[in-house]
Amino acid sequence: MGQNGKVAVVGIGHTKFGKRNDVTVRELAFEAVKEAFEDSGLSPSDIGFTIVANYGGFSEDMSAAPYILEYAGLNPKGAMRVEAACASGSAALHAAYWNVRSGLTDLALVIGVEKMFQVDTPTAVELLGRAGDVLWEFIPFGTTFPGYYALIATDHMNKYGTTEEQLAMVAVKNHKYGAMNPLAQMQKEITLEDALKSRIIAWPLKLYDCCLISDGAAAVILASEDKAKKITDTPIWIIGLGSATDTGYLADRTDISTLQAAVLASKQAYKMAGIEPKNVDVAEVHDCFTIAEIVAYEDLGFCKKGEGGKMIEEGQTYIGGKIPVNVDGGLKSKGHPIGATGVAMAAEITKQLRGEAGRRQVPKAEVGLIHNVGAAGQFCYVTILGRES
C-alpha cells in the first residue's frame, strides 16, 4: 500500500429493494454487510474505517451509524455517517476512497441504508421535499421532489422539444431491466401506454416517471492496491472520481434544463480516468425521474445537449445500443432507498465489470460509470470503475 496506490472494490452486498417491514435499519444494513464480507472473504476485524450513508428521518435512528456498527460487530474502528441527500451513497464511497488512498487504512467499508416505508407516503413526500430549500421553496410553496424535476422537464421540453412519450420510454426501458433483476422492487415490464396513462404526480411527470419509495441496503468494501490483489483475482478499480455542487435555490440556476454539477463532476472523473464518454461500456445514472435520465445522457456527454430524448427514442441506452444505461432497472424500477442508492450503483457496476450480471450482463463491459445526484442537482458525484487498472 502507498499513498499513490490504487483503490479497488473487493466486496459487494446488495439486499433486495422493496418494502421491508420485517426488519429494523440495523438489521437491514446487516444483511448487506454480511453479503459483502461473504463476497470478499473478509471479516469485521479487517475493516479499518466504516462510512455509513443514510438520509434518515423516515426511520427510528436519528444517528444510525453507531447502531449499525454495533450490530455488525464493527466497533471500535473509526466511522462516520455522511449525508448528501440522494447522493449520500456516493458521498460515502468517495470518502472511503480518500480514506484508503490517503493510506489511513487498507480496507474501508461503505454501508448505504434507508427505510422509507416506516412512515406514510405523504410524510415521505414531505421529508424528501425538505431536501430542497426549506425556507424559500418548501415551506411557502410545497415544492415536492417530483415538482423540482417537473420544473426541469418543462424547461427541457420547451427548449428542446422533448416529449412526454420520450420520458415514458425511459420508464419502459428501466422496467424491462428491472423485470430481469431479482433485487428490483418492481420486477414488472410496462408498456408505453401504461406509462402515459398513469396518473399525474407533478405535471408533466406521471406516476411511471417517478422512482419508488423503497427500503434497502447495500455495502461495498474498498481496498488498497496491495490488499486488493491479495483478496481477489477480480478487483474492480476506481479509476476516476468527480464531484460538484450547484445552488440550493433552483431558480438561481442559469439553465434549469441541465444539472451543471453533473457536467462538472463528470468532466473531472473522465479526466482522472483518462477516458472519454464514448469509452464507457455501462452506466448507472440517477433516474429518480425519467427526465433525470434524459438530462444525465446529455450532462455526461453520451449525447449532445438537447438530444437526450432522441437517444432513448432510438434505443441507444438499451443493451446492444451505444451505451447501456440502468440495466439493473435504475431507481425507477429497482428502487431508490436514498442512502443505499449510490452504494447499490457501485455494487451493480462491480457485478457488470466482473461479468456477474446474468441476463442483464453488458457484453465485454470493462469501464462502468456511476452518476449519483443529490437533491435536484445540489450535489453530483461521478465515479468511474474499470476492470483493468
Q: Where along the sequence are the contacts to other proteins (CB under 8 A)? A: 21-22, 60, 122-123, 125-126, 129, 135-138, 140-144, 146-147, 150-155, 158, 199-205, 249-252, 256
Q: What does DSSP say about strands 7-14 and 107-115: parallel, antiparallel, or unpaired?
A: unpaired
- Residue 236 Ramachandran class (φ > 0 left, ψ -120 to 50 alpha, else beta): beta
Smallest distance from other proteins to CB 142, Å: 4
Q: Is 325 helix (H, G, I), strand (E, B) or coil?
A: strand
Residue count (the chain): 389
- Residue 217 Ramachandran class (φ > 0 left, ψ -120 to 50 alpha, else beta): beta
Of the residues 156, 175, 286, 336, only one is catalytic, namely 336
Q: Which residues pair with 385 in a beta bridge?
A: 238, 368
- Closest C-alpha among 222, 297, 231 to residue 259: 297
Smallest distance from other proteins to CB 187, Å: 21
Q: Can 371 be counted among the known catalytic residues?
A: no
- With cell 457496476, the residue in question is 349
Question: With contact defined as beta carbons under 8 Å apart, do 66 and 123 qualify?
Answer: no
Sign (positive/negative) of CA torsion 80, 53, 134, 249? positive
Question: With contact defined as beta carbons under 8 Å apart, do 109 and 33 qualify?
Answer: yes
Smallest distance from other proteins to CB 207, Å: 9
- Closest C-alpha among 229, 276, 230, 222 to residue 389: 229
Question: With contact defined as beta carbons under 8 Å apart, do 347 and 12 qualify?
Answer: yes
Separation of first and last alpha carbons in the chain: 15
What's the rounded Cα separation, in Å, for the pair 248 and 250? 6
Of the residues 86, 210, 288, 380, only one is catalytic, namely 86
Nearest CB to other proteins, comparing residues 257 and 333? 257
Nearest CB to other proteins, comparing residues 146 and 324? 146
Nearest CB to other proteins, comparing residues 89 and 147? 147
Nearest CB to other proteins, comparing residues 125 and 367? 125
| Eight-state DSSP code of residue 359 | G
Q: Which residues pair with 79 in a beta bridge?
A: 50
Using only the alpha carbons of the chain, give its radius of gyration: 19
Q: Can 336 be counted among the known catalytic residues?
A: yes
Question: With contact defined as beta carbons under 8 Å apart, do 313 and 361 qualify?
Answer: no
Smallest distance from other proteins to CB 204, Å: 8
Residue 173 cell numbers, joined? 426501458
Residue 224 cell numbers, joined? 488498497
Nearest CB to other proteins, comparing residues 147 and 324? 147
Smallest distance from other proteins to CB 61, Å: 11
Residue 50 cell numbers, joined? 466504516
Residue 76 cell numbers, joined? 471500535
Smallest distance from other proteins to CB 67, Å: 14
Nearest CB to other proteins, comparing residues 104 and 135? 135
Smallest distance from other proteins to CB 198, Å: 12
Smallest distance from other proteins to CB 98, Å: 27
- Closest C-alpha among 207, 215, 185 to residue 338: 215
Nearest CB to other proteins, comparing residues 126 and 189? 126
Nearest CB to other proteins, comparing residues 98 and 203? 203
Which active-site residues does the annotation give?
86, 336
